[in-house]
């Protein structure tokens, strides 16, 4: 039975222990980080080994490949891509060129990923940073207004899907007001609901996308006790309700320090709140075993959403000439100055 779990592994190839774990517990997906990546042949071998271990050739393999400071596949084997903010700068000069650039950049990222067996990218970032917030989002964002973020985020998602890669919009319902980095501490946002509704706009505009990742953020106006990832109120009322997202909802990494308590309790709380799958990134084997003891089979509505997500990037798109595409992308980026 496939578990409602996405895991990380420790290195550039599966250990014997990890291989046995994968065969026994069959997590739905794998997420890769820089510790897992050396060169294209190695990454392709790792993705193939994961899919063989779980006996699912379409098992999703994820990565955070945004561009800028969040890029796991990098030089010398892969191109560097710009920050989200770069596309926003182009948009202030020529909005149509910005949309083309965001689409092309994501398309080219997708081509890089699909060639080594990575099928899901944790992009687009639909958060809207506000003045005084922590820079954990910062230049990862496409802009500081809802319209820019909505439009450029959509363009990036379409570019990924055209390459055959599934997008994940993040961090729903909005991480842009966080005063601390949720990797290290729990952000508490005290803005009234009337202000938070501006942050929801890009997610609502892209609510038909196949997957979304929650924010480890407390919104006092909605649920003063629990971050979105473990808040049934936020998930039911805001994410599924007001925003209208009905795709696969995954929590952000349960090993981040914004969440408290044993790892198994964090996972159980996120699923009870309404997340469809648990994401565990650090590759620590003892924590993986703890999760395997509590994370259930992927069934029901969550399974339907997962299956639908896997089909979302399988439409037939015309293939671009990559030399021409990279040349056009470079010319569009020149507009950013």
Active site residue 26: no
- Residue in 183, 190, 208, 236 annotated catalytic: 183
Active site residue 236: no
What are the phi and psi torsion angles at 78 (to 5°)? -135, 150
- Residue in 252, 253, 276, 290 annotated catalytic: 252
Q: Catalytic residue numbers?
A: 183, 252
């Amino acid at each position: 039975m496939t578990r409602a779990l996405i895991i990380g592994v420790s290195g550039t190839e599966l250990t014997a222990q990890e291989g046995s774990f994968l065969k026994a517990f069959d997590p739905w997906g794998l997420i890769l980080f820089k510790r897992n990546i050396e060169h294209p042949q190695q990454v392709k071998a790792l993705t193939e080994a994961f899919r063989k271990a779980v006996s699912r050739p379409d098992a999703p393999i994820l990565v955070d490949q945004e561009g800028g400071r969040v890029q796991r596949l990098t030089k010398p084997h892969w191109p560097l891509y710009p920050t989200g903010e770069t596309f926003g700068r182009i948009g202030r000069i020529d909005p149509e060129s910005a949309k083309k650039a965001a689409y092309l950049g994501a398309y080219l990222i997708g081509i890089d990923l699909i060639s080594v067996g990575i099928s899901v990218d944790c992009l687009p970032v639909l958060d809207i940073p506000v003045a005084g917030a922590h820079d954990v989002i910062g230049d990862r964002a496409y802009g500081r207004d809802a319209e820019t973020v909505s439009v450029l985020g959509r363009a990036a998602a379409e570019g990924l899907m055209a390459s055959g890669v599934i997008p994940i919009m993040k961090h729903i319902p909005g991480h842009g007001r966080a005063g601390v980095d949720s990797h290290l501490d729990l952000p508490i946002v005290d803005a009234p609901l009337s202000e938070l509704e501006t942050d929801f706009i890009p997610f609502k505009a892209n609510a038909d996308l196949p997957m979304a990742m929650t924010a480890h953020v407390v919104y006092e106006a909605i649920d003063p006790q629990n971050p979105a990832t473990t808040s049934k109120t936020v998930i039911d009322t805001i994410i599924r309700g007001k925003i209208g997202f009905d795709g696969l909802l995954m929590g952000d990494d349960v090993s981040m320090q914004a969440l408290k308590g044993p790892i198994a309790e964090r996972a159980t709380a996120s699923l009870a709140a309404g997340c469809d799958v648990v994401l565990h990134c650090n590759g620590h084997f003892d924590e993986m075993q703890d999760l395997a003891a509590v994370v259930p089979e992927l069934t029901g509505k969550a399974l339907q959403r997962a299956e639908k997500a896997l089909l979302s990037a399988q439409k037939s798109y015309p293939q671009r000439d990559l030399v021409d595409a990279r040349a056009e992308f470079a010319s569009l980026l020149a507009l950013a100055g």
